[in-house]
Structure 1
Amino acid sequence: MIRADHLRVPRAHSRAAVSVTLALTLAVGLVLAGVVVLRDRASASHAGGCHRFAADHAARLRDVTGSGRSVVVIGDSWSVGYKLTDPARAWPSRLPGRVRVDGFSGSGFSAHASSCGAVSYATRTRTARNADLVVVEGGLNDFDQPYAAVRSGFDRLVSRLAGHDVVVVGPAPAPRRLAGARRVDRWLAALSRAAGIDYVSSIRLRLPYLPDRLHLTLAGHREFGDFVARHLPA
């Protein structure tokens, strides 16, 4: 018969097991705490980014430039002049007419191109109510969106701009999103053709980009703006 005292775990071994358990518990706790902190920081950073984009959007809406026919540009960070020292010198400043810019960084044709809420192009057509010409520029932020989402957003946009002269300017070949830009360019070209809307493809343009390989330099804005201006109806 086995004696009961033979089954007892040595006290030193028991203390070691407890120490290991406590250490593992503490480590797991620290990891979880770190995840929460990182998540909170990411959330705060995202909220801060959206707040900045909204402020830039409001500022650009107030800055109407030029004279002549009323032109409204609905677009993304390129139209806003994101990362430029003087955003007012972004590409829309190269267009003829009295130009008003309704641009929201990160937005696009599809509803979920931006994670900042309801800021897709179709939600901002009210700005164009009395415009003589509406220029809709973008597609780079739709680079990872499915065709159905881009088509749905495009259809809503066109429906809300019914009765206006509209020109759609597709995405340029920004190196950071080149494959997606090419795909969206094909989609927008076909959708515009089906809707009877003028489409300007910029996918073959060679433009100078900032180090982020996504946004234009000031020279790039000049080139892009002059390109768009040449393709607008008289």
Structure 2
Amino acid sequence: MVIRGIAVRTPLFATLVVVLLATLAVTFQLTVGAQGAGAERCERFAQAASARAERDTSGEGPRVVVIGDSYSVGLRLDHPDRSWPSRLPGPVHVAGFSGSGFSARASACGRVSFADRAPHALKRGADLVVVQGGLNDHDRTAAEIGAGFRALVRAVGDRSLLVVGPPPAPVRGSEVGRVDAVLAALAARHGATYLSMVEADLPYLDDGLHLTSEGHREFGDLVNESVLQVIEVQVPDGS
């Protein structure tokens, strides 16, 4: 009776084992595939960041270093070198990385937060540091954003700092106000100048996240107004 019972259950058990192994194999393939796709995406972002950094602009006046996300890099633009920092005066160095933000976990590409990248971006010096972002911090807590902001302030040191907050991109609109308020409070606490973009009426691409070419021009002109004010007040001798 027992032997006969085992014999009856054996095919079912074998079938379950096969199904389980097949499920594990598919899960493993999907995980590896996701990791591979993520690695390729991060590599593309790194290459785009490097290419944009090589297109520094020259001119007279204080040296401006921009640390930002895909907006500063010009992701999805036909001419990335025309991203919004191109509207700023004087010599401008752009140190952007798509998907990055103030918080350490804004990006899945490793240590690419603004604070992590600031030391390298500033190694050639800067009279004014413009940090633009916040959209990629939409799902991060105030504590995470605060920790990243404080690390950024330490990296910037005694240089003049202008923080440019997130605009109301349609796909992130529900969280932009919260992030903007967090950043505004942090900037005030640490003596940085803050430019809120929550009221900016800008044109976006079909993805509802990235700016059109015209959007970059308008965004850059808004930032430029604040840059000129900071330069006039904090770098009066233009050096």
* TM-score for the superposition, normalised by structure 1: 0.90
1:23 aligns with 2:15: yes
Report deviation, 1:26: 2.1
2:105 is matched with which residue: 93, 112, 120?
Answer: 112
Report how many residues are paired: 226
Report deviation, 1:14: 4.7
Report deviation, 1:9: 4.5
1:172 is matched with which residue: 167, 175, 200?
Answer: 167
2:155 is matched with which residue: 157, 160, 171?
Answer: 160
In structure 2, the partner of 1:87 is: 80
Stretches of 4+ aligned residues off by more than 4 angstroms: 7-10
Larger Rg: 1
For the residue of structure 1 that corresponds to 2:131, the secondary structure is strand
Equivalent position amino acid for 1:137 in 2: Q
Deviations 1:140-196 (A, max 9, x none): 111111111111111111122122111100001111111222111001111111112
Q: What is the correspondence of 1:131-150 to structure 2 with a 5 Å cutoff?
A: 131-150=126-145
Equivalent position amino acid for 1:62 in 2: E
Deviations 1:94-137 (A, max 9, x none): 11111110001111111111111111111222322421211110
For the residue of structure 2 that corresponds to 1:231, the secondary structure is helix
Quickly say closer, same or farther: Cα 1:213–1:8, change in 2 above 3 A.
Answer: same
CA distance in 2, matches of 1:8, 1:174: 67
CA distance in 1, matches of 2:73, 2:152: 19
In structure 1, the partner of 2:41 is: 49
CA distance in 1, matches of 2:115, 2:69: 13
Which runs of 5 or more structure 2 residues have no equivalent in the other structure? 233-239
CA distance in 2, matches of 1:103, 1:121: 9
CA distance in 1, matches of 2:217, 2:117: 25
CA distance in 1, matches of 2:175, 2:60: 36
CA distance in 2, matches of 1:101, 1:210: 22
1:203 is matched with which residue: 198, 206, 210?
Answer: 198
Deviations 1:34-55 (A, max 9, x none): 1111111000011111111111
Quickly say closer, same or farther: Cα 1:113–1:190, change in 2 above 3 A.
Answer: same
2:69 is matched with which residue: 64, 76, 82?
Answer: 76
Which runs of 5 or more structure 1 residues have no equivalent in the other structure? none
1:128 aligns with 2:118: no
Quickly say closer, same or farther: Cα 1:64–1:36, change in 2 above 3 A.
Answer: same
Equivalent position amino acid for 1:65 in 2: T
Deviations 1:181-232 (A, max 9, x none): 2111001111111112110000111211122211111111111111111222
In structure 2, the partner of 1:36 is: 28
Deviations 1:9-33 (A, max 9, x none): 59xx956x44433333222222211
CA distance in 2, matches of 1:19, 1:194: 69
CA distance in 1, matches of 2:114, 2:4: 71
CA distance in 1, matches of 2:181, 2:18: 54
In structure 1, the partner of 2:236 is: none
Deviations 1:71-103 (A, max 9, x none): 110000110011111110111111111111000
Q: What is the correspondence of 1:177-188 to structure 2 with a 5 Å cutoff?
A: 177-188=172-183
